[in-house]
Amino acid sequence: GAVVSQHPSRVICKSGTSVKIECRSLDFQATTMFWYRQFPKQSLMLMATSNEGSKATYEQGVEKDKFLINHASLTLSTLTVTSAHPEDSSFYICSARPAGAYEQYFGPGTRLTVT
């Protein structure tokens, strides 16, 4: 149980385009989902926390207009990187937390490369 999927696993896009990444909790309902970013050889950096049906809470320094997060249902959250630039190239990981639980379950990550 507690499986989280992410799609796509890899994406290459041109500078200036937008990319959408999906995060799904497959066998549980996630009232809260999280989006992280990981740079090479660095820790996970929390970008934003989203609760189903409400606006996401962004961490300091994360541009909410650039990283659009939608948590439309209890099993799906999406991250859209708008007007992507090469510096947005990174490994993006989502996680989902079941209601009442402490544990977060992570997706396999999405490698974004902006050329």
Is residue 105 a contact point for another protein (CB under 8 A)?
Answer: yes
Q: In this chain, which of 81, 93, 112, 114 binds another protein, going by CB under 8 A? A: 93
Q: Which stretch binds another protein (CB under 8 A): 61-69, 70-78, 80-88, 97-105?
A: 97-105
Please, what is the minimum distance in Å from the beta carbon of residue 67 to another protein?
18
SS3 letters across the chain: CCCEEEECCEEEECCCCCEEEEEEECCCCEEEEEEEEECCCCCEEEEEEEECCCCCEECCCCCCCCEEEEEEECCEEEEEECCCCHHHCEEEEEEEEECCCCCCEECCCEEEEEC
Q: Give the footprint of another protein on residues 25-64 (CB under 8 A).
A: 32, 34, 42-44, 46, 49
Cβ contacts of residue 77 below 8 Å, gap of 6+? 22, 23, 30, 33, 35, 50, 69, 70, 71, 94, 96
Q: Which stretch binds another protein (CB under 8 A): 11-19, 70-78, 81-89, 105-113?
A: 105-113
- Closest to another protein by CB, 44 or 82: 44
Closer to another protein at the Cβ: 37 or 67? 37
Q: Which residues sit at the interface with another protein, rule CB under 8 A?
A: 2, 4, 6, 32, 34, 42-44, 46, 49, 91, 93-95, 102-109, 111
